[in-house]
Structure 1
Amino acid sequence: MTTVNSDIYAYNHNGQNIKVHWSRDTYDEKEYTDRIEFNYKDVDVSECYNDKKNVYWYDLTGFMCNIIDKIGKDKFDKFKNYYNECEILDNEYIILDNKIYKPYINTFPYGRFTYYIIEMKMKDGRLLDGKSNIDIRCTSPYYIEECNKDKLISMLKYRVKQYYKEKKIPPEGEYLLKEETEKYNKILQWFEENKIKSYVLNFISN
């Protein structure tokens, strides 16, 4: 891991000026992680993120400050653990009606490329995938849909959620992860008890 860029930003939250330390760490030419660090109301905040979901340093800074305002210093560490678990579940799986589903993923290495098949069958037999109408003549693997795992998963999530919204038909039971679903609902219960459930879920699903 190498830090390739860093800066210090000024952020104003409810009249309080906050100094936000931002840095970007890279693992290879394609993967990177951004980090923000700041102190607000005697709470040290350190959070990693990337902009794949269109969340930037100022969005995350404001969100964390609002959480501290809502739940206070004593509960923040527990919130951070739950929030990070929710982020992982939201990134890796498909969440419908508070249930966690894992799509079928298969990989086909071909030379220096890796092709993916990512799909999910709904209970009415409809098979959904993440492919889009991208010109397969593109030479860069980032733009060839079968090589872009993140894009395939993102498109599949959108299609599954739209299908469920329109037809009220969930995925087949074989995709349901019971243990992760129980964990997720335990976290939701804690969010609900602390009156931050809607705020947190809206931010995560942005």
Structure 2
Amino acid sequence: GAEESVSQLVARAKELNSERVVLVAPGISEEAGGALVAAAVAGAICGEGDPALPLGGVELRGIPGLALRYGESELDTLLQGGVTPVELAGGVCSVVRGVTTRTTTGGVSDSTWRELTTILVVDDVIPGVRNALRAKFPRAKNTAQTRGAVRSQVILELERKLASEIITGYGEVTVQPLEEAPTVCLVTCSFTVAHGLNQIWLSAQITV
């Protein structure tokens, strides 16, 4: 986003409304507008090895300056509206908090996919399990023994994600053949994504 007001940015995020699109603002103070900032944020996302680690606070390289600085109320409006704001402090440009433009489902407010880490974790776990199964079972029979081995492999991959704190838990894993497609086995599992720490609230009781 560049040369747009807070309300215009929120409106554009609402139109996009995708868990795989991140709208970044503001742009830099030069002719490149918002493209350089967006590229820096994209690079930061791609360069992160842990998908559950929040983007907030990550330093953005190569940003000479920003067109403006948002106030606290503006930051809250942007974040609730699905816009990822960046700020410049002490000569360092960093992300305030990484969110996606997905804020509604079926026209109803929905914060399920707002946090960027949520979709990054999903995009890490599911392809990871799929790739492990593809490598382990390039040629196999759809028998009870094979399905048992598939289940064990899925559990192993989920345990690895659990140990890496990418997920915080997972449910029962089932593997069963499809009656209508005898060459297909259906793997069903559930897991809970690990959430990033964006704020620390301090509550103190003081006795004088």
Give the TM-score of the pair, scaled to structure 1. Answer: 0.27
Structure with greater proportional strand content? 1
Larger relative helix fraction: 1
Greater RCO, 1 or 2 (C-alpha within 8 Å, sep 6+): 2
Larger Rg: 2
